[in-house]
Every structure is written in C-alpha cells, then in structure tokens.
Structure 1
Amino acid sequence: MLAYFSKLFNGKGTEANRTEASMKKFLIVGLGNIGPKYAETRHNIGFKILDAFAQDQEIKWSTDKLGDIATTKIKGRPVILLKPNTYMNLSGKAVRFWMQKEKIGLENLLVVTDDLNLDFGTIRIKTKGSDGGHNGLKDIQDQLMTHGYKRFRFGIGDRFSKGKQIDYVLGEWDKEEQKDMPERLDISSKAIFSFISDGIAKTMNTYNGK
C-alpha cells in the first residue's frame, strides 16, 4: 500500500491506477484547531464549512484516528470529510493517513482553509499553490511532498494592526461577519458539492470570487 500511495503522489503510477483512484473516493479536509475555545475563531473556518456541508448532507461526525470523520455519497461517489484533531500545525499527518488508508488519489483531495489575503467571505479555489505562510498548508505540503493539491481558500480579511496577526486569526468573528456567515457557508457548501459532482474546472469558474 505504501508503494501504491507513493506512486499516486509522485505521478508514477500507471494511468489505470490513477483512473482507478479517481473513480473511488474523495477526501475533503477542513483545517482548524480542536476545542471549544477555538470553535468560533477565524482560523477554524475550515471546520465550520465542513460542518455546514455535513449538515446539508444530513450526515453525522464520529471520532476516528487523527480526526473527526463523516461519510456520504454524491452521485454514487464516496466522500470522506475530515476535521484533523492534530491541531493546525500537524494537519498533514491526518491528511496523509486518511489518503493512504482509503487509497485516495491526490486529484480527489480538497483542503478548506482560511486566507488573510482575501476579503471576508471571498472564495478562491485553486488546483495548487504555495502555503502562503499558513502552517496547516505547510505541513500538508511537507507530508505529501507536493504543493500540487487542490485548496479552497475562504477569506478572513486582514484588518489587524502590526504585530496583531495571531490575535486576529485566533480571534472570533465580529458581529457583521456573524450576520453574513450563514449565506457564505451556504455558498461554500455548494462549492464543495460542485467539486465532487462537476469537477474542479467548473467549480472554479462558478465560485471563484463569490
């Protein structure tokens, strides 16, 4: 299984193997920190979006190895939702474990995370990119040995003064953001559904910038 996993990551597997993997399961990962004190913080938007998606799909979470898991099927395609319980900086460990365990190809991975460089609620879905200084994305890149995985960035804005970035990221949503959040979560959930059902290109065209 380790050899198979390595081939998927490095693009060295046969076309049949890659096609087989893409026909199987999707892994949708929301990044965040566990515990009630982090639940409503900006850095936990990945968890919040996956909770909204799970609610829309009427599925429940259960605690498993390295995270909380929920499963469903969309158009016959098995989907695994993952909220790592490793804390943000070690997110890659959980992602790698579940990709390997379920034999999920890199093309079927989507990581949902916060982004300081986007205005609040703005969605930007990309097929690859740098970690942008985000510790969760950096650990995923290190664990998977590639930056070529799909990511769903949700804007949290950058309304903080010099030296206050950590306080801002780990701070809670303000009243205006809380008011707009249900609508942004609804659009985010629909974007994840689109990725699974319609593919990355159509999803980027439909939802980027919304």
Structure 2
Amino acid sequence: MLARLSRGETVGEGAWLIADRQTAGRGRLGRNWQDGAGNFMGSTVVALRGSDPVPHTLALVAGVAVHSAVAGLAPDAMLKWPNDLLVGGAKLAGLLLERQGDCIVIGVGVNLASAPELPDRATVSLAELGVAVERDAFAADLASRLAAELAIWRSAGLTETLARWTARGPRIGARIAANPHGDERLTGTYRGLDPEGGLLMRLDTGAIRAIHAGEVELVRPEED
C-alpha cells in the first residue's frame, strides 16, 4: 500500500491488501514483522479529511476494531497502548501506522494460526488458545469493523473513540513502565488517555505524565 501511494497511485479508502506470506514486513520502531502461513497480515488506507481528528489517533480506531474482531474468540483480549493486543500478557496482534501525503496506511498483523518467537516479549496465537479461524473470514469481519469504527471517529469525534479504547484497555491503576524517546525508564500506574490519545501515567513520585511516544509495558508485581 505504502509503495503504491509513494508512486502516485490512487488507492481507494476501504481497500485492503492482504498477504499470504511476508518477506519484508516491519513493525513499530523498525522491528521485523514476522509472518506465518494462515495468519492475518493486511493493510488499508485512510484518506485524511480536514475535519478529521488528529491522524495518530487512527491507531486507537484500528485497535478497537481489532479487539472487536477478536473479543468473541478470546474474551480476555486487552489493548495495550499504543498499538498491541494482548491475551494473558502475550502479544496476539500488532498495528503500524505510516503516512504518505494525505493518506494513512494502517498495517495489521494478527496471529491466527501461529505466533513468532520474539526475544523481548511473549506471543500467542488463536490456534494456541484452541480457536480455529479462517483467514479470509477474519479479514472480511475486520474490514467491516474498521469501517464502523472509522465512521464513529469521524462523526462522533475523538472523545467517543477514546472511551471505546479505554473500555478495552488496562484497568485504571495497573502498574506500567514507559520508555519515552530520550528519557529513562519511568514506572507508575496507568491513568487512562489524555484528550489527544496520549497515555496518562501517575509516576511513583506522584506526578502525572502524558506519554505521546515510546514503549509502554504492563508490569507484574514481581517485575516492579
């Protein structure tokens, strides 16, 4: 999708590019985005309008859509800011946003059939949870849910999307750690989202800090 847009090609909003396999996928912060046969690996385009909320909050829109598509299959699924879906603390799905001109490409990867082994985090697939999902059926459902969430984002405003994401995210007061770009590791508790979609955390010093970029992780008591 991104390559097509960079060449000046027109890609209609709502169109999806779905890969059977990936050889050069990438995730957030330049990480390798490993593929697996039977998994969902797709991207779609949002054409920005002047009346739209701030573009980076499309990560929240996509997160809610992915969660909704998975919730009936994995009831314990939970969103982790800014772009992961977890089950039991293990990563089930990830999102990546990239901009080309007035378009945002949303990349989505969901471990339907298998989960890659990653050195820095636990992963899981729906198959490991005992759930069999046909990739194309999942793709159609996700496309429908993303279109609905995008309509809410545009018509009801960002406040509604923030509320929908928060209902699917960590509990308020959960222990978290953050590594904002250029800062040292911060620890504290999750306090929700700010009006622009940033993550709010109460530091151990008592101060409230808004995180707008960087890595955030949930912290178990034994890791604190």
Q: TM-score, normalised by structure 1?
A: 0.28
Larger Rg: 2
**Structure with the higher fraction of residues in helix conformation:** 1
More strand by share: 2
